[in-house]
Amino acid sequence: MKLIFDIGANSGHDADFYMKKGFKVVSVEADPYLSDRLKNRFAHEIATGQLCVENVGVSGQEATLVFYKNFLKDDWSSFDKSSKATRSAYEMIAVRTMPLSHFINHYGPSYYLKMDIEGFEKAALGTLFHVDKALLPRYLSFEANRDLLEILNVVHGIGYNRFQLVRQGEGHLQRPPKPALEGSYHQIKFTGYHSGCFGRELPGEWRGFKEIEATILVDIEADYQRAALAGSNAPWHDVHCFVGEM
């Protein structure tokens, strides 16, 4: 089975989708409570070796850091105090972190890496400069935050050369194509807790670095304007990246 990294696994919505498509998954979750929930929910998959759960944070170094655990929205929790994690009631807990490169080197070649760690993406992805190019995930995705252009330059420097901007949230994520283009077909209606399709199942056009760098902020602003006119919630986006020849 091909391997997928689910970095910032939360309650396992994405991991469940990946496994039902036939992939092996390494779920990395900093929140000890959510990590225990993953282990209970997927006890069978862990026993069969299809899933491994790592209760550790991901950053740019091995350390013990303060984790801001949001009580109302656990998907806002973060190591970044200035993030959404501290907008409402939260607690501070000490959590061990490892560099992203550690997982790549330990588990070996992977097909896709999904990252949603609320503000620590740049530091984590920067450690991939120290990974053998043969071990890099063929596809990776990260949430678009305020340091989006800086992260784009980091992943481009690592070697990723094709990109897509994908709007997230229920009603915006395309359902998986049938027949499947990645793994097995799994019928699902994505919610706001899912990251959606990946790799060859993405509906958009892959763009080169110069094109995505020049247009991505304009595209995001256009989505904000459309949402405002419709009276809907502010949108959020993931950036998908590809390394190699298409």
Closest CA to 90 of 100, 75, 103: 75
Q: Write down the pTM of the prediction.
A: 0.96
Helices (H), the chain: 13-20, 32-41, 43-48, 100-107, 121-126, 148-158, 209-230
| Whole-angstrom distance, CA of residue 88 vs CA of residue 33 | 19
Which run of H or of E encompasses 52? strand 51-54
Return per-residue pLDDT of the chain as tens, 246 residues.
999 999 999 999 999 999 999 999 999 999 999 999 999 999 999 999 999 999 999 999 999 999 999 999 999 999 999 888 999 999 999 999 999 999 999 999 999 999 999 878 999 999 999 999 999 999 999 999 889 999 999 999 999 999 999 999 888 999 999 999 999 999 999 999 999 999 999 999 999 999 999 999 999 999 989 988 988 888 899 999 999 988
Bridge partners, 51 (sequence order): 25
Radius of gyration for the chain, computed over Cα atoms and rounded to the nearest angstrom: 17
Helix (H/G/I), strand (E/B), else coil: 228: helix
Architecture of domain 3-242: 3-Layer(aba) Sandwich (3.40)
The string of DSSP codes covering 159-191 is T--EEEEEE-STTTSPPPPSS-SSSS-------
